[in-house]
Amino acid sequence: MNAMQEFARREMEANRSFWRTGKRKAVAVPRKKRTRPPKYVLNMESPEGRILEEYAAANDMTVARLIGPGRKKSIVPIRQECFLRLREHGLTNFAIGTIFSRNHSTISHGCVAAAERRAQA
């Protein structure tokens, strides 16, 4: 029995119960399973890949850690500098966000923060 047939069976049972007792019975609605979009596969031979490797090597970390979800104070400024460099290279916020698995607005904020740090230095 598939999910829709199971839902229909439960719904009929709930309706029978309602007509007998006059009380409504809650029925769980089957939900569609959410699937994540495929992750961006970064080619390390591309200019973007070389920029990421350059920043990772200069700061003694791996590219996976640079791209990863970590939010430590030691990683974030480096990552934001990388955002800005990729932006200057010609990538859009959306494209950079796809590489880093982040929203385009996060990339925009990171670029602004990195530019401010550059101006202060």
pLDDT of 14: 74
Our separate counts of H helices and E strands in the chain read 6, 0
Helix axes 104-120, 93-100, angle to 10 degrees: 100
Number of structural domains (the chain) is: 2
Amino acid at 21: T
* pTM score, whole prediction: 0.66
Domain for residue 107, yes or no? yes
Domain containing 22: what range? 1-35
Q: How far apart are CA 120 and CA 3, in angstroms?
A: 59
pLDDT in tens, 12-71: 777 776 666 666 666 666 666 666 665 677 888 999 999 999 999 999 999 999 999 999
Asked if residue 42 belongs to a domain, the reply is: no
**What pLDDT sits at residue 3?**
76
Q: Which is nearest to 12 in space by CA: 21, 31, 30, 25? A: 25
Q: What angle do CA 58, 63, 67 make, to 5 degrees?
A: 115
Residues 31 and 1 in one domain: yes
Same domain for 52 and 102? yes
Whole-angstrom Cα distance, residue 82 to residue 40? Answer: 17
20 and 55 assigned to the same domain: no
**74 shares a domain with 20:** no
